[in-house]
Amino acid sequence: MSYAAWIVRGVLPLLPIVALGLPRVVGAQGEPAAAHPSRQLSLDEAVRLAHATSEAIAIARAGVDGAGGERRRASGIRLPRVAAFSSFDRTIRSEFDGLALGEPDAGDEPALPFGSPTTYRAGLSLTQPVFTGGRTLARGRAATSGQRAAELALTSARAQAALDVAEAYFDAALSEQLVGIVDATLAQAESTLHQAALLFEAGRGSEFDYLRAKVARDRQRPVVTRQRGERDVAMLRLKQLVHVPADTDLDLTTGLDLEPAAVVARAASMEAPTGGDGSAPGVAGRSVADYAAVREGAARLHQREQLLTAARAQRWPGVALTSSWERVAYSRGGIPAHQDFRTNWTVGARVDLPLLAGGQRAGDEVEADAALTAARAELRRIEQLAEFDGRAAAAQLATAEAAWAASEGAVHEAARAHEIAVVRHREGLAIQLELADARLALEAARAERARAARDLLVARLRATLLPDLPSAGRSGGSR
């Protein structure tokens, strides 16, 4: 049982209860409930709404921002670091307590401030890395690759959102068209039943034909109800993707017409690659390296390689130039004046030689090497999936085109056969069973034609967006 049929079966038993409660609600309020808001929605507008409100795109965009921050931080390691500082120290006990330092005589230099209870400091410090063993350069390259991978992930998220919305849109359009088909079939069944009843009452028709027409009408009613339920589910799915309130009635303005080049270009919100005749290009001849998922995997691999280089570079010593400038004042009481401050200014170099880190460096190297191995395996898997996606998309497109070509004449032939059956039945030359079979054949041909149109549009859209879509094993949507 399909999901839509399960929903319909679960909701149908509640309809009589709801119907009984409606008069009470209307009577209590004095007026019927307000009509639901409605809006027209085209495919390109639906895609724009999805791109603006999609959680997956928002997450991917946040990943790009985070990767940009990491790249900026990695680039900042190479630049000098300047810091300002100030301090206030109050000595509680000192080794100079009780010593008579004496007061300076007139004209002599002031006594050294040993034992002063209060010290004020303010200054600047400068550190410029000179040699880091390649860590800084490797981390910068890793951050650049990470940002590139994040941008490709955002591209894939946008393409996947476009495909998901297009599939939901065409599913809703197909369901709407199928509702029209089954409604028309029900109307035909009602008309046939009316004619059969008139002939039976006039004595010109048999009770068997009347019962057959009544059974055909009664069997068509649950088909209509089930198809309307599936349409409602398809509409709810579309409303969820474009973040439209569930009580809004949508009027889909992009039908299942076969103008895929324009539809694809608008739906993708990007320049769609086309062949020389304006049609969507074939997918079988594309190189695996052209796929965004493969390029993202390659960027992740390069990022892991650079991170391993940075981890191994921790064994090398680091050299940095340092400088410190500060103003110091010692006070025996009260806040010192400006002339009480003295200047310290130092310039030097520092060499950090790693000797023992408790296994931290070895752990970092093992972790980076394991991540690199996983990235290599992931890239091989993505390449295999990309090749599979290309072949599968080509097969789906060929199947959809063949199904559309096969259904082209079926509707015309079934409609003509139904017209002949109606005339034969009216003239008494055909039995009710022949008319019912012709009606069912026409309904099936129309439904198959609509499904073939939907499948062909989705297959062409997927073939066009395929280079930017995530691989089948990593896609968040239905592939």
Name 439's Cβ contacts closer than 8 Å, sequence gap at least 6: 185, 188, 189, 192, 216, 418, 421
Interatomic CA distance for residues 118 and 332, integer angstroms: 6
pLDDT at 275: 40
Neighbours of 240 (CB within 10 A): 11
- What's the CA dihedral at 383, 388, 389, 392 to 10 degrees? 170
Kind plus residue range of the DSSP H or E element containing 41 = strand 38-41
Question: Residue 373: is its pLDDT beyond 90?
Answer: yes
Interatomic CA distance for residues 241 and 228, integer angstroms: 20
The pTM of the full predicted model, rounded to 2 decimals, is 0.73
* Band (355; pLDDT cuts 50, 70, 90): confident
pLDDT at 206: 79
- C-alpha of 141 from chain center: 27
| Helices 360-426 and 432-465, packing angle to 10 deg | 150
Kind plus residue range of the DSSP H or E element containing 345 = strand 342-352
Kind plus residue range of the DSSP H or E element containing 343 = strand 342-352
pLDDT at 35: 60
Interatomic CA distance for residues 135 and 391, integer angstroms: 43
Interatomic CA distance for residues 453 and 460, integer angstroms: 11
> Which residues are paired to 81 by β-bridges?
127
In order, the DSSP letters of 204-254 are: SS-HHHHHHHHHHHHHHHHHHHHHHHHHHHHHHHHHHHHT--TTPEEEE-S
Question: Residue 302: is its pLDDT beyond 90?
Answer: yes
Interatomic CA distance for residues 176 and 186, integer angstroms: 15
pLDDT at 161: 92
Is the Cβ–Cβ distance between 292 and 152 less than 8 Å? yes
Structural domains of the chain ordered from first start: 38-90+119-188+217-382 (1.20.1600.10)
| Mean residue pLDDT across the chain | 79
Q: Residue 285: which of 393, 405, 162 has the closest Cα?
A: 393
% of the chain surpassing 90 pLDDT? 32
Question: Residue 381: is its pLDDT beyond 90?
Answer: yes
Neighbours of 268 (CB within 10 A): 20
pLDDT at 104: 53
pLDDT tens figures, 68-110: 999 998 888 888 999 998 998 888 877 766 665 555 555 554 5
| Tokens (6 digits) for 210 | 């009347």
pLDDT tens figures, 217-267: 888 899 899 989 999 999 999 999 999 898 888 888 887 765 544 545 544
pLDDT at 192: 78
Name 288's Cβ contacts closer than 8 Å, sequence gap at least 6: 294, 383, 386, 387, 390
For residue 453, the number of C-alpha atoms closer than 13 Å in the C-beta half-sphere is 22
* Residue 202 CB-density burial (10 A; 0-12 exposed, 13-18 middle, 19+ buried): exposed
> For the residues 160-189, what does the mean pLDDT come to?
89
Q: Residue 347: which of 318, 326, 316 has the closest Cα?
A: 326
- C-alpha of 254 from chain center: 23
pLDDT at 152: 94
pLDDT tens figures, 20-49: 333 333 333 444 445 668 889 888 889 999
Question: Residue 180: is its pLDDT beyond 70?
Answer: yes
> Which residues are paired to 352 by β-bridges?
318
pLDDT tens figures, 431-479: 666 777 777 788 888 888 888 888 988 898 888 888 999 876 554 444 4
Is the Cβ–Cβ distance between 162 and 477 less than 8 Å? no
Interatomic CA distance for residues 44 and 262, integer angstroms: 10
Q: Residue 254: which of 164, 171, 169, 175 has the closest Cα?
A: 169
Q: How many helices, marked H, and strands, marked E, lie in the chain?
A: 10, 6
